[in-house]
Amino acid sequence: MTRRRAGSFVPALLLVLAVLGGCADRHQTAARIAEGRALRPDVVATRLFHIATWRPAAFTPGAPLAVYIEGDGRAWITATRVSGDPTPRDPVALELAARDRRPNVVYIARPCQYVTGAQRRNCSPAFWTNARFAEQVVAATDAVIGHYKRQAAAPAVRLYGYSGGGTLAALVAARRDDVAWLATVGAVLDHAHWTRLEGLTPLTHSLNPADAAPRLARIPQVHYVGADDTVVPPRVARAFQQRFPAGARPAVVVVPNADHLCCWTDAWPSLLRREP
């Protein structure tokens, strides 16, 4: 009996240590990227979540606030097994923020990414699976943006989002009246079309940016997609584009030799220079 307990304990302990080590590696990766841009970590408490962010040590009053929203991260371990911690291994949105040299750049993680202990309150896996774009998530992200806009005394907000962070950026933009620019990279802009296309379970508890097209039509925007992206194919952005009235359809730019991960960081400075 004792031997069986010891034998089962060792692999379980090794699994726990491996998970903790993986989490530490992901936090260290983000810290290293942020330090290269002189962004410091901060956690903002919203009504439902504690949201991890990286922000400048000091804001430049009067300059626009450029907000980068992270993707879904490690939401799934396998196709059928949900992750217990959605913190990303490759924080692409943070990499993009680090390439933006403007003064008031803020990075916002998704709920339950990069937080531990008591700050993981309300971290149900639903909020990184079928409710990843739920009203609660959109409202929390919007609250964090409002918090930093007030701190920066910024006249306007420029929103950027990678993958699911682009979905969230669009949903936040639809409810704000101070968004001067919206840009997404590999975003799921019509998740109803995406789940049908990929044969995935519908995101039944999530809001869909395509449904907000009438409100988004007033915002200058561009949506970048990789020509070789098999995770979120270009046709998803095209479906979103078709939800807008003719003459008011947003730009969809297909970037050659790019897929869902590669090679947005290298391309980002030149893409930023194209902005109005």
- The residues spanned by each domain of the chain are 2-272
Q: Is the pLDDT of residue 183 over 70?
A: yes
Q: Is the pLDDT of residue 263 over 50?
A: yes
Q: On the CB side of 40, how many CA atoms lie within 13 Å of its CA? A: 5
CATH superfamily of 2-272: Alpha/Beta hydrolase fold, catalytic domain (3.40.50.1820)
The helix/strand/coil state of 184 is strand
Which of 210, 185, 13 minimizes the C-alpha distance to 94?
A: 185
Q: Is the pLDDT of residue 197 over 70?
A: yes
The helix/strand/coil state of 152 is helix
Rg (CA), the chain: 19
Helices of type H across the chain: 2-36, 92-98, 135-152, 164-173, 191-198, 213-216, 234-241, 264-272
Q: Express each pLDDT in 124-142 by its tens digit.
A: 999 999 999 999 999 999 9
Cβ neighbours for 153, distance < 8 A, ≥ 6 positions apart: 59, 61, 62
Q: Express each pLDDT in 46-95 by its tens digit.
A: 999 999 999 999 999 999 999 999 999 999 999 889 999 999 999 999 99
| Phi and psi at residue 39, to the nearest 5° | -100, 140
Q: Is the pLDDT of residue 17 over 50?
A: no
Which of 185, 189, 168 minimizes the C-alpha distance to 238?
A: 189
Q: Express each pLDDT in 162-172 by its tens digit.
A: 999 999 999 99
Instruction: Give, to the nearest 10 degrees, the angle between helix 191-198 and helix 234-241.
Output: 140
Q: Is the pLDDT of residue 24 over 90?
A: no
| Rounded Cα–Cα distance for residues 161 and 274 (Å) | 17
| Rounded Cα–Cα distance for residues 20 and 26 (Å) | 10
Q: Is the pLDDT of residue 102 over 60?
A: yes
For the chain, the residue count is: 276
Q: Is the pLDDT of residue 12 over 70?
A: no
